[in-house]
Amino acid sequence: VTVKIARSRVKMILDTGTKRNIIDLDTYQKLRRKPQTYKSKVKLIPYGCIRPLPIVGKFNANLKFANQEAPESEVFVVDKMNAGNLLSRQTAIDLGLYKPNVASINEVREEREEIQDLITQFQDSFTGLGKLTDFKVQLHVDSNAKPVAQPHRRNLTLNKKKYEFMKKEIE
C-alpha cells in the first residue's frame, strides 16, 4: 500500500497484528519534509523476538491514502536500514484499507436437513458419553518391543520468571 507521509509517497505493508506505525531509517531520510523526531520510551518487540527494535525516535503525522486521511498518528522510526515499513491496524481502519468483518464472526449457519436426518437415524451415536459397551478391544503389541520410560513433564516455573521479567521490560 502506498501512503502519503509528510507529502512523500511511502510504501507500507498493512499489518493488522501491530498497534504502531513503523518506518525504517532509510525511508525517513527519503521524506521530502522530515518531521522532527522525539525520543520515545516505548519498546517495540517484533513477533517471535526477545530484543526490542532500536528506535531512532517517533513523530506525529497525518497519513493519507486516496481521499482518506487518518488523524495524527504516531510513526516510529527504526534504526534498521531497509527493514520495511508497517501500517498499523487502527491506521488501516482509519484510512479505509481494512474493515473487520464482525458479521462473519457471529454468523449462525443453518443446519442442513441431511445432517439432521443422520443425527436422528444414529441418535445413539450422538448421545451419551461415547462409551463402547459389550465391545472387546484387541491391541496388537509387538512382543519384541522394548519398553521405554517417557520423560516427566517439565515444570514451567523457570519460564514463568522469564515471562514476568519480559512483561516488566515491555511495560
The DSSP result for 59-97, as a single string, is EEE-EEETTEE--SEEEEEESSTT---EE-HHHHHHTTS
CA distance 60 to 5: 10
Give 32-67 pLDDT, tens digit per residue.
888 899 998 888 888 888 888 889 999 999 899 988
pLDDT for 101 equals 73
For the chain, percent of residues with pLDDT exceeding 90: 23
* Most confident residue range from 19-33, 74-88, 96-110, 125-139: 19-33
13 grid coordinates: 505493508
Cβ 113 vs Cβ 104: under 8 Å: no
CA distance 106 to 157: 38
Residue 134 pLDDT > 90, yes or no? no
Q: Per DSSP, which regions of 21-164 are E strands?
A: 21-24, 55-61, 63-65, 68-69, 73-78, 86-87
Residue 107 pLDDT > 70, yes or no? no
> What ranges do the domains of the chain cover?
2-95
Give mean pLDDT, residues 115-141. Answer: 77
Cβ 23 vs Cβ 56: under 8 Å: no
Identify the DSSP state of 123: G
CA distance 66 to 22: 20
For 14, the 3-state DSSP assignment is strand
Residue 105 pLDDT > 60, yes or no? no
Give mean pLDDT, residues 91-119. Answer: 74
CA distance 45 to 78: 11
pLDDT for 59 equals 93
Give mean pLDDT, residues 103-113. Answer: 60
Give 14-29 pLDDT, tens digit per residue.
988 889 999 999 999 9
Averaged pLDDT score across all residues of the chain: 83
pLDDT for 116 equals 80
CA distance 36 to 20: 18
Entry pTM: 0.57
Q: Does domain 2-95 have CATH number 3.40.50.300?
A: no
pLDDT for 106 equals 55
Kindly report the CA angle at 75 between 74 and 76, in degrees rounded to 5?
120
Q: How many CA within 13 A on the CB side of residue 161?
A: 3
Identify the DSSP state of 38: B
Residue 69 pLDDT > 80, yes or no? yes
